[in-house]
Amino acid sequence: MNIYLASDHAGFELKNHLSEYIKTLGFTVADKGPFSLDPNDDYPDYIRLVAEEILKNPDSSRGIVIGGSGQGEAIAANRFKGVRAAVYYGGPDEIVKLSREHNNSNVLSLGARFLSNDEAEKAAKIWLETDFSGEERHIRRLAKLDQLDD
């Protein structure tokens, strides 16, 4: 599984940290930027790159995007039909698990200003290791989401 990472300036340090951590879990990691800290960068420029990669190989790739809250990054990713970004910036771990089991999220958006490195690692690990349930009711609902774009 290929994992694509991107951030803005607020998520830059956490992105670099998670890149190394995710490799220890046995995943292939591709960093889509930014590659240097720029407080004036614009997250849509980098989130687009992750979304485009996910859509090229939806069965063998996922993305993790990181910003201050993760909200803008998720909004940007969700503009792409077929991308389902879930936001996590703390709270019960079950939220991250359900985003995979029920919603088949293929992008996890993390809020760096609200998570420690350990919390972000835990969320990423749960999300990466949780499969979509494949239950008919969830498949039906995801198909309806895709129809909203038509």
94 among known catalytic residues: no
**Tokens in use for 132?**
């979509």
Q: Dihedral sign for Cα 31, 33, 34, 40, please.
A: negative
From 73, 94, 119, 136, active-site residue: 73
34 preceded by a cis bond (ω within 30 of 0) = yes
73 among known catalytic residues: yes
> In angstroms, rounded to a whole number, what is the distance separating the alpha carbons of residues 48 and 52?
6
> In angstroms, rounded to a whole number, what is the distance separating the alpha carbons of residues 33 and 35?
5
From 101, 102, 119, 138, active-site residue: 102
DSSP annotation of 9 reads: G
Catalytic residues: 73, 102
